[in-house]
Amino acid sequence: EAQVTQNPRYLITVTGKKLTVTCSQNMNHEYMSWYRQDPGLGLRQIYYSMNVEVTDKGDVPEGYKVSRKEKRNFPLILESPSPNQTSLYFCASSLGTSFTEQYFGPGTRLTVT
């Protein structure tokens, strides 16, 4: 089954404690991306990757890091989380930048206290 998986699905943490949210896809997609979704603001792109070792900033990259060492995985790293990073995070993948049939993961709800 074609899918994008994220872990963990729920996370409560404290300010400043480094964390990583993993994202993996099983469709051999070249393109992957991270979004955050906040009430009243919609989906905003954090980072994206066009291929292995190629990453670029989206609308709201501050406070986040990503890496793409292999095609299937695209982890999101928060090195020093702050309360304003409390949000619902989605990972997505597609075959390329045509975005036809872009698949989203189930989401990770992060709370930073």
Question: How far apart are CB 69 and another protein at their closest, in Å?
Answer: 18
Task: Rank residues 7 and 102 by Cβ distance to another protein and give the closer one.
Answer: 102
Question: How far apart are CB 12 and another protein at their closest, in Å?
Answer: 17
Which residues does 30 contact at the CB level (< 8 Å), separation at least 6? Answer: 50, 51, 71, 95, 96
Question: How far apart are CB 16 and another protein at their closest, in Å?
Answer: 28
| Residues at the contact surface with another protein, assessed by CB under 8 A | 4, 31, 33, 35, 40-45, 48-50, 56, 58-59, 90, 92, 97-107
Question: How far apart are the C-alpha atoms of 59 and 21, rounded to whole Å?
Answer: 19
Question: How far apart are CB 45 and another protein at their closest, in Å?
Answer: 6
Task: Rank residues 61 and 63 by Cβ distance to another protein and give the closer one.
Answer: 61
In 10 A of CB 75, how many CB atoms? Answer: 18
CB burial of 25-42 (b: ≥16 within 10 Å; e: otherwise) equals: beeebbbbbbbbeeeeee
Task: Rank residues 24 and 33 by Cβ distance to another protein and give the closer one.
Answer: 33
